[in-house]
Structure 1
Amino acid sequence: MMTNALIPQTLSDLLAQERGLGPVRHMDDLQARLQRRSAIARQIQQWEEALRLVQKQSRMLTPLPPLKVIHWARAVQAMPNLVFLEVDTTGLHEDAEIVRLVVLNLREETLLDCLVTPTQQLSRQMVTITGITNVEIKAKGVPVAQALAQLRRVIHGAYVLSYNLEFDVSKLRESVHRHHLDEITIIGEDLMERAMSYLHLSSYPKLEGLCQQLGQPLPPQPHQTALDRARGQIAVLNAIADVAFASPASSALQATDPDHEVADDRSL
């Protein structure tokens, strides 16, 4: 209930005066009361307009990061089995092939970095996006079944964070089905969705943009690799846990062109 202390003094005085009067005694008394009631209405209107302005200013305040997301990040940081996954592919299409699998732990130690031999060479665009050359794949690439077996061993019993986990899981699922292999079980969460919640974003933020905002920019393409992006994921998680982002939603973070979201989901 609103107390008198919150009401402007002049309005409070007029209200008190009106409340203290008995029945109307004559015309002059009525006219005086009507004038006071009109003054009360005007002051209430002014007060309401001022309140609306304050409410508008309040709504325009910079959003604060949700405590729920910060607590989540700190809890995940403390998990001894936490790993970060990056999956590079030949594209976004359903028959796109995996060309690199990378898994790091929170200390940025490489648990897996495996080039995979696709059935066709990488296009010039994909060489730029993935930072992988066809020469490297020819020299170091392994069959996809071997690569997936290594991934299966590395993430067994692990809690997996990935930037757009849905994309990575779908590409892994397509690959095991295509080659008639056992399913790969991934238990974890999507770091991109958590970053969206933290920054109050309505569309997918670029990992590259988040890292730039943190002052830890990823190398420019074609020198940016899955290893760099995995380290970028670690930086984002640590920034959420430490409340280290300088400001929330920025248009520079939005991934507006899906044609550029290749090879490694929406992180480019």
Structure 2
Amino acid sequence: MPKSLDTIMASLGAHVAEERVKGPVRSFQDLQERVQHRAQMYEDVQYIEEQVQMLQRMLHSMPSLPPEPEVLWANAVLALPNLTLLEIDTTGLSEDAEIVRVTLLDRTGTIIDDILIKPKDPLTPRLSEINGIRNEDLEHAPSIREAWSRIEQCLQGRYIVSFAQNFDRDKLSEAAHRDQLPRINFIGEDLQMHLGHFLGNSYIKLADACARVGHPLPERPHQTGVDRAKGQLHVLQAMANAVTSCTTSLPKPGVENSEDLSFDLNDHPF
């Protein structure tokens, strides 16, 4: 039966102490005995080093712990009375993409407003599959110019959290520039960035994050902006509770879902 590490450590300590008190070599036989003795000691040290390396590998393979600052951030944000989750649907990722839906939820998951906006051109079947909006849903919807003041009013005085917030800001700025509308400014933070720090995976998409925390989004084309806004809230609540996953099988960092229906499998974060 192999000796335990405790036994080897105790024996090694005793042998080292014994060697130290022996003093100079007294004879050739004494030398041979000491060489043999020390060879065993070095063998024990090597065994201990191997066991330590194995334990280090085990430690490195353990699930990472969520960083406490991100947990505290999520709790602080959820405590804000004016917290608002924002979701913006567009006709694409390019600068000329139009906004077709703006959804806002409060911290309880209640809809503040859900604004459908009629684009200049009809939605393609592909777009409808991605955003869950049909052309018939937009038949009586206002234009972006008609809806602009309503969007501005909804964002005013609120602390906005959204997934990939730079995308949302860019689309609002592009719409304002294209239609010569007043620029809309708001304060807030990017949930995707904080989630990336929380999970150690900056590439994770909202749908994957929702699945991890036990609140998967509906399958497309039944997934809407309201579902994604609620998904953001579920993710934020999970972060506040330091929950990194409710599943045992997780996607590897940077690996995309091959069944994802983002715009031509581009870098859309949803």
TM-score past 0.5 threshold? yes
Q: Is the CA contact 1:83–1:103 (under 8 Å) kept in the aligned structure 2?
A: yes
Instruction: Say if 2:80 is the partner of 1:79.
Output: yes
**Partner secondary structure for residue 152 of structure 2:** helix
2:28 corresponding residue in structure 1: 27
Q: How does 1:92-107 map to 2 (within 5 A)?
A: 92-107=93-108
- The one-letter code matched in structure 1 to 2:251 is S
Alignment of 1:15-164 (within 5 A): 15-139=16-140, 141-164=141-164
Q: Distance in 1 between matches of 2:94 and 2:10?
A: 69
1:266 aligns with: 269
- 8 Å CA contact 1:89–1:99 kept in 2: the answer is yes
Over aligned residues, Cα RMSD in angstroms?
Answer: 2.5
| 1:212 counterpart = 2:211 | yes
* Counterpart in the other structure of 2:220: 221
The answer to whether 1:180 aligns with 2:160 is no
Unaligned runs of 5+ in 1: none
Partners of 2:34 and 2:202 lie apart in 1 by: 54
Q: Within the alignment, does 1:236 sit opposite 2:239 as a pair?
A: no
**Superposition deviation, residue 21 in structure 1:** 1.7
Amino acid at match of 1:209: D
1:85, 1:162 within 8 Å by CA — same for their partners in 2? yes
Question: Cα distance, 1:233 vs. partner?
Answer: 0.8
Following the alignment from structure 1 to structure 2, what is the Cα–Cα distance between the partners of residues 249 and 184?
A: 41
Aligned residue pairs total 261
For structure 1, which segment, 121-130 or 240-249, has the greater mean C-alpha deviation from structure 2 after superposition? 240-249
Task: Structure 2: state its 5+ residue gaps.
Answer: 1-5
How big is each residue's C-alpha offset from its partner over 1:118-174, in whole Å with a ceiling of 9 and x where there is no partner? 1111111111111111122122x1121232322222112211111111211111111
Distance 1:96 1:177, change over 3 A: same
Distance 1:257 1:167 in 2: 23
The structural deviation recorded for 1:176 is 1.0
- CA–CA separation in structure 2 for the residues paired with 1:212 and 1:56: 29
Distance 1:252 1:58, change over 3 A: closer
Q: C-alpha separation between the residues in 1 aligned to 2:217 and 2:247?
A: 19
Moved over 6 A (4+): none
Residue deviations 1:204-238, cap 9 Å, x none? Answer: x2322332333323222222111111111111111
Counterparts of 1:258 and 1:247, CA distance in 2: 19
Amino acid at match of 2:83: L
The residue type paired with residue 152 of structure 2 is R
What SS is found at the alignment partner of 1:91?
coil
Secondary structure class of the residue paired with 2:12? helix
* Local SS of the residue matching 2:126: helix
Secondary structure of the structure 2 residue equivalent to 1:68? helix
CA shift for structure 1 position 29: 2.0
- Matched letter for residue 127 of structure 1: S
**Farther off after superposition, 185-194 or 229-238:** 185-194
CA distance in 2, matches of 1:148, 1:174: 13
TM-score, normalised on structure 2? 0.88
CA distance, structure 1, for counterparts of residue 248 and residue 86 of structure 2: 25
2:214–2:246 contact (8 Å) kept in structure 1: no
Which amino acid in the other structure matches residue 67 of structure 2? P
